[in-house]
Amino acid sequence: MTETLSTPAAGELNAEGLLDAYRTMRTIRVFEERVHDEFATGEIPGFVHLYAGEEASATGVCSHLDARDSIASTHRGHGHCIAKGVDPVEMMAEIYGKRTGSCHGKGGSMHIADLSKGMLGANGIVGGGPPLICGTALAAKQQNNGGVGVAFFGDGASNQGTTLESLNLASVWNLPAIFVAENNGYAEATASTWSVAADNIADRAAGFGMPGVIVDGFDFFAVHEAAGEAISRAREGGGPTLIEVKFTRYFGHFEGDQQAYRADEVANARDKLDCLKRFRARVTESGQLESSALDTVDSEVAALIESAVTEAKAAPKPTGVDLETDVYVSY
Amino acid sequence: MTETLSTPAAGELNAEGLLDAYRTMRTIRVFEERVHDEFATGEIPGFVHLYAGEEASATGVCSHLDARDSIASTHRGHGHCIAKGVDPVEMMAEIYGKRTGSCHGKGGSMHIADLSKGMLGANGIVGGGPPLICGTALAAKQQNNGGVGVAFFGDGASNQGTTLESLNLASVWNLPAIFVAENNGYAEATASTWSVAADNIADRAAGFGMPGVIVDGFDFFAVHEAAGEAISRAREGGGPTLIEVKFTRYFGHFEGDQQAYRADEVANARDKLDCLKRFRARVTESGQLESSALDTVDSEVAALIESAVTEAKAAPKPTGVDLETDVYVSY
Amino acid sequence: MARTISYREALNEALRQEMHRDSSVIVMGEDNAGGAGAPGADDAWGGVLGVTKGLYHEFPGRVLDTPISESAFVGAAIGAATRGMRPVAELMFIDFMGVCFDQIFNQAAKFRYMFGGKAVTPVVIRTMYGAGLRAAAQHSQSLYPIFTTVPGLKVVVPSSPYEAKGLLAQAIRDDDPVIFCEHKAMYDAVGEVPEESYTIPFGEANIVREGEDVTIVAFGRMVSVAAQAADELAASGVQADVLDPRTTSPLDTESILESVENTGRLVVVDEATPRCNLATDVAALVAKEAFGALRAPIEMVTAPHTPVPFSDALEDLYIPDAQRVVNATKSVVQWQR
Amino acid sequence: MARTISYREALNEALRQEMHRDSSVIVMGEDNAGGAGAPGADDAWGGVLGVTKGLYHEFPGRVLDTPISESAFVGAAIGAATRGMRPVAELMFIDFMGVCFDQIFNQAAKFRYMFGGKAVTPVVIRTMYGAGLRAAAQHSQSLYPIFTTVPGLKVVVPSSPYEAKGLLAQAIRDDDPVIFCEHKAMYDAVGEVPEESYTIPFGEANIVREGEDVTIVAFGRMVSVAAQAADELAASGVQADVLDPRTTSPLDTESILESVENTGRLVVVDEATPRCNLATDVAALVAKEAFGALRAPIEMVTAPHTPVPFSDALEDLYIPDAQRVVNATKSVVQWQR
Ligand SMILES: Cc1ncc(C[n+]2csc(CCOP(=O)(O)OP(=O)(O)O)c2C)c(N)n1
Ligand SMILES: Cc1ncc(C[n+]2csc(CCOP(=O)(O)OP(=O)(O)O)c2C)c(N)n1
Ligand SMILES: [Mg+2]
Ligand SMILES: [Mg+2]
């Protein structure tokens, strides 16, 4: 059932939708490049994994989602958060460990979440999200609200038992769940061509009774169309889909990774394949959007991230009174 | 890569090999029927899961194995133990919780093992065996002795993450490992047609880069041939195979199961499909074995199991001095 | 309240009443109905020990069978709990925690803290623990100490049918993740249980016997063992205060300390293996907080540091019994500096 | 022995020497070499923290990268151990135990007992624990108490480069399954380490400081915290006996009891969360076996009952430090009945 989609038409997105999508991708990109720079100054603590290069996936999928829908993410979660509507200003503060952060500084980059937005959290455990999404999809089904759950996970995570058994459970229960395997070629320093014992992750779908689709992850429109199909099918009771999105991450596995395992694939991707460049070229060439409208978004995003960083740096840290609170709802 | 094998020719087995195979199947059958009867008297403690009906699988696979090779089994492990050469007399004593048992009474039905025979244990954890077999296969590979590891597991276990990720690891490491999915139609009271979200378990093989084969589990020769192919390929460095064996268990999930979930599939299987009946008919019709030779085996097996039960009943139980020993090799 | 029912029935009744009360309560687990996809009966099992029997037909669509994929379905229960449901998932044997612990301790337990107090995850994981049924090493463990270590989890060990019903109702209404540990050898134990719905609050010990000479703290099935020991001790003139904390987390430290302040002596009875278990937990609490009152060494009656043996001959020696509690209690009562 | 190297280098050296010594020793884990299937360098990582760096080229075919499938590869290490190998598997962070615990506690740990003494499973699982690197709730836990509860496992918590090398060599030569817990904040700690191969036996505490007034038992990274506290206390006239048990299982109960018999006072320092941890374990041991000698309440210095917070401001408060140990110690030394 695995099929490769060629780049489709822009589909139902009108100018406003396109501009939103561009804004989301651009926000993710600038957010991540800024975190990369700030991390280098030593001011950002902990482990940080950047999503730059992969923006079309989170954006293409989440542009179909609304308040009924939920997503689960990974250690590389900033992009999914932004795409699902989490406030980048709070996110930046969280990454700096500040009390004003999305999680009051208790979570950090690997645990940004906003349940009120249906964002169930980045996740420090590879393969942690797919089981949870079986649950949010189940809740939507029980509540009969047409909602879906989307689990984003990496090529490395596609080998984790928790992920694989979730595919089966979602099929058995016929859940409105979408499994988005973001194949960026590597799990840490390990190539997915080595660790995934199949030509494609999407090839696993058949063994779990669901359609498997492969899309070019640098192409927002390809992701958007594949996700749209899967999501409408799920909303209508047609069950889960596995979508494999292929692309390259622009930075190391985590900030600090020397990347000795890589060839120079990033330069080529940035230059020739980049999702933002391609998006801009396509919508301006087709006349759907003016270049100037995109430029305006660029400056707005730049200003937003600038102020996010300024606010994050200025914000207070949590203090002793916060240490033992919020372990339980009731004590 | 999934293919269904039709009943092949008897292959390389000579008369002695055939008689051995028959003896093994017969021993398993009589052992299990006797445990069934004895359990009903209330004298056997704990949980007991019987393998009757499935004899051709353990026997067809293990008839290819020798001292280099190891197997891991399940809660339904008696058949695998007998087929890999564990002493039925010690096994019976173990089931009765006696000091003379395979595990000195510390293990019981669900944990019979004999490491000296390459039998890594029945297993109380569904999906517990496949990871271990990646390890024994790895050891054989590192030791370069041509050995293989075989993981037997059920249809229910084929949905467990531990099983699924083991398939991938075995392929990635190109291990001499054979995964035998014994699909007896049920995991406890749940139908495999429901719990396995694919037409066949073997259909999962492709997603993990290995051949998948389906065999009629009532047909010793079919199992023997499929296993033979997979095992020689593995011995020669050709990597793992997933073999799905389809059949029906003759007794309930465990002793005591009322089986309200079943239709009358067992009577038909016992009558029309039974592996022992088919084996006997085939080898006698083809003139490979005399009926009388098989009858002799039948009486020898009857005597063996009779004495196993007598000895087991008479054997002493472990005592207080055994309670805290053998937790560690060194203290 | 003259009606007596079994521990199993008490649990079933709590589930039924809570499902009637709140439509967001759903039940899931392997063969919790039973017979999924099979030609025979649909509610063939009601769970491997019959606790969920009958709910499938009474609450259509709200009792879900699952494939054998504990990470996926326990995780699903947790995920659903974050989206307005109150799932009760059955982890058939507590021994199976090893294939799904991540979802419990790294996901459910940490959401609230890790997400800055913004998550509510009202999931209940019912699970069966304990020795006594000759179920051997992988089906007989008392692993509640492991769950007790985990901040963010609440852990319940009901010691009777009455406790079982009221604590399960509380677990379902509670907004935090709860590990509900049912002792497999108690399902047929009978006791008085009110028909109407009720809850028992977490973190409040039940005083099972009152006495002045020694405090005995016991958990789960060990409560009845301790009570039996106390009765035997009473016959020889030793009056024991027997406490059933009901929940290991939160733990009613106040009642324990108060009792020891009064008796000056402590015995803890825990079916778990001896290292880092509840016995050490309570002993340490008392050695820290009530040292001034202590008049004797603290005794702990536990399983040995071994897997659970299969043979009845060994398993009977493995499980703490009243005699061992009596002996331990006498030793602390008779202790002289 | 003038040479000083880091904890990381000490571990690497132990692996190298044991691999030279015994060809059945193999190493596996995620990116233990690094770069599998990738176009660039082949030994690109040497483990996420560089502990296995260089072994890949030195021991061809004996350092295996793995997919992210902890159950499968930890299980594989265990299975291989039953067939003549001595695998050292790396569970990158101890926090990931939740996706592979079954293979460790139900399989490896129980084989020998459950199979009647007939199995030998010499597997080592190296894993990284502890807080301090702002790695947040799922990458900072001190979960060795959970492994300590499990009969059949040995659990090692090396507190210095010297200990790390000798204990890892012992772990590899040991015939039982060993959980080897490396503290992530110690990899760069340096100390004197002999070049030649040596082993440190399990179950023998190291006396880090000698004193008569109070016993301080500390584990892993907390040993240096306790030593620092002891030095500060010495300045104010309190002489502490500081014990590093080195292994939590087996535990050197004898040395602990002997020390408390002498000092009459106990403080236990454990980086783990407070319920059912090593602090309670040691406290309970002493409250049972050395009560007669005890002259003050037992103090426990531990993390709070919360997940590990991300923000440095909170994490610094979370981790037990020398000041808290000093305060606790003073309180027991000054305690009056
Ligand atoms: C259970 C578990 N195992 C290992 C890790 C360590 N780890 C963090 S990210 C990562 C690689 C993940 O690769 P992939 O799924 O492809 O995601 P990507 O980083 O490429 O986005 C690993 C091994 C972890 N966090 N959790
Ligand atoms: C991890 C785990 N989950 C659940 C169980 C309970 N259990 C024991 S056997 C069984 C059914 C197994 O079905 P299958 O794999 O098809 O094997 P079969 O019994 O049919 O031989 C279940 C659910 C278990 N032992 N371990
Ligand atoms: Mg990746
Ligand atoms: Mg089955």
The answer to whether residue D200 is domain-embedded is: no
- Are D311 and D289 within one domain? yes
> Does residue B326 sit within a domain?
no
The CATH number covering residue B30 comes to 3.40.50.970
D28 plus D172 within the same structural domain: yes
A158, part of any domain:
yes
C-alpha A293 to ligand 4 mean position (Å): 61
Any ligand 1 atom below 6 A from CB of A155:
yes
Q: Is residue C144 part of a domain?
A: yes
Kindly state whether residues D73 and D189 are assigned to the same domain.
yes
From the list B146, B165, B260, B242, the residue with the least C-alpha distance to B201 is B242
CA distance D246 to chain B (A): 15
Give the separation between CA A208 and CA C72, rounded to whole angstroms: 14
Q: How far apart are CA A146 and CA A129, in angstroms?
A: 21
Residue D47 C-beta-side C-alpha neighbours within 13 Å: 27
Last residue within a domain, chosen from C148, C168, C194: C194
Q: SS3 for B155? A: coil
The reply to whether C200 falls in a domain is no
Give the model confidence (pLDDT) of B208-218 as tens digits: 999 999 999 99
pLDDT in tens, chain D (337 residues): 589 999 999 999 999 999 999 999 999 999 999 999 999 998 999 999 899 999 999 999 999 999 999 999 999 999 999 999 999 999 999 999 999 999 999 999 999 999 999 999 999 999 999 999 999 999 999 999 999 999 999 999 999 999 999 999 999 999 999 999 999 999 999 999 999 999 999 999 999 999 999 999 999 999 999 999 999 999 999 999 999 999 999 999 999 999 999 999 999 999 999 999 999 999 999 999 999 999 999 999 999 999 999 999 999 999 999 999 999 999 999 999 8
pLDDT of residue B2: 43
**CB count, 10 Å around CB of D220?**
29
User: In the listed set C169, C194, C219, which residue is the last one of a domain according to the structure?
Assistant: C194
C137 lines ligand 2 (CB under 6 A): no
CATH number for D279:
3.40.50.920
Q: Which amino acid is at A230?
A: A
Are D44 and D186 members of one domain?
yes
Over residues A297-305, mean pLDDT: 98
Establish if A127 belongs to a structural domain: yes
Q: Is residue C201 part of a domain?
A: no
* Residue D190 shares a structural domain with residue D215: no
Question: In the prediction, which pLDDT does A9 show?
Answer: 43
Give a yes or no: residue B8 inside a domain.
yes
H helices of chain D, in order, are: 7-21, 55-58, 70-81, 101, 109-114, 144-148, 161-173, 222-235, 253-263, 278-289, 312-318, 322-334
Tokens read off for B49: 């899961």
Confirm or reject: Cβ of D31 under 6 Å from ligand 1: no
Cβ neighbours of D20 (radius 10 Å): 12
Residue C221 structural domain: 206-333
Question: Does residue A93 surpass a pLDDT of 80?
Answer: yes
Residue C235 maps to a domain: yes
Indicate the number of domains in chain C. 2
- The reply to whether C155 falls in a domain is yes
Contact A220, A10 (CB under 8 A): no
The angle formed by the CA atoms of residues A223, A225 and A229, to the nearest 5 degrees, is 115
Q: Peptide bond preceding A130: is omega within 30 degrees of 0, i.e. cis?
A: no
> What is the number of domains present in chain B?
1
Range of the domain at A261: 3-314
Question: Rounded to whole angstroms, how far apart are CA atoms C121 and C106?
Answer: 13
Q: How confident is the model at residue B11 (pLDDT cuts 50, 70, 90)?
A: low
Query: For A159, which of B163, B165, B206 is closest by C-beta distance?
Result: B165
Cis, peptide link before residue D250, omega less than 30° from 0: yes
Q: What is the DSSP code (8-state) at residue C152?
A: T
Binned at pLDDT 50, 70 and 90, residue B4 comes out as very low
Same domain, C171 and C212: no
pLDDT at A264: 87
The residue of chain C nearest to residue D283, with distances taken between CA atoms, is C284
pLDDT at site D1: 55
Residues D54 and D166 in one domain: yes
Q: Are residues C217 and C321 in the same domain?
A: yes
pLDDT at B264: 87
Q: Is the pLDDT of residue A3 over 80?
A: no
Evaluate the CA torsion angle A56, A256, A316, D135 in order and state its sign. positive
Residue C1: the pLDDT is 54
CA distances from B208 to A159, A160, D69 (A): 9, 12, 13
Q: Has residue D199 been placed in a domain? A: no
Q: In which band, very low, low, confident or very high, does the pLDDT at B6 lie, cut at 50, 70 and 90?
A: very low
User: In the structure, what pLDDT confidence band is assigned to residue B5 with cuts at 50, 70 and 90?
Assistant: very low
Please, which residues have CB within 8 angstroms of residue B163's CB and are 6 or more apart in sequence? A161, B127, B130, B151, B153, B157, B179
Chain A residues in contact with B210 by the CB 8 A cut-off are 197
Same domain, C28 and C161: yes
Give the distance from residue A164's alpha carbon to the nearest chain B alpha carbon, in angstroms.
Answer: 6
pTM: 0.98
Is the same domain home to D36 and D107? Answer: yes
* pLDDT > 80? residue A11: no
Pair C111, C260 in one domain: no
Residue D102 lies in a domain: yes
Six-digit token string for B64: 């290819």
Roughly what angle, to the nearest 10 degrees, separates helices A15-40 and A220-235?
110
Identify the residue among D96, D112, D149, D333 best suited for mutation to test binding to C, counting C beta carbons within 10 A and taking the highest.
D149
Q: Are A73 and A119 in contact (CB under 8 A)?
A: yes
CATH number at residue D169: 3.40.50.970
Q: Rounded to the nearest whole angstrom, what is the distance from the C-alpha of residue A149 to the centroid of ligand 1?
A: 21
Check whether residue C67 and residue C187 sit in a common domain.
yes
Q: Is B324 inside any structural domain?
A: no
Query: Active site includes C139?
Result: yes
pLDDT of A5: 42
B71 pocket-lining for ligand 2 (C-beta < 6 Å): no
Residues forming beta bridges with residue C267, ordered by sequence position: C216, C299
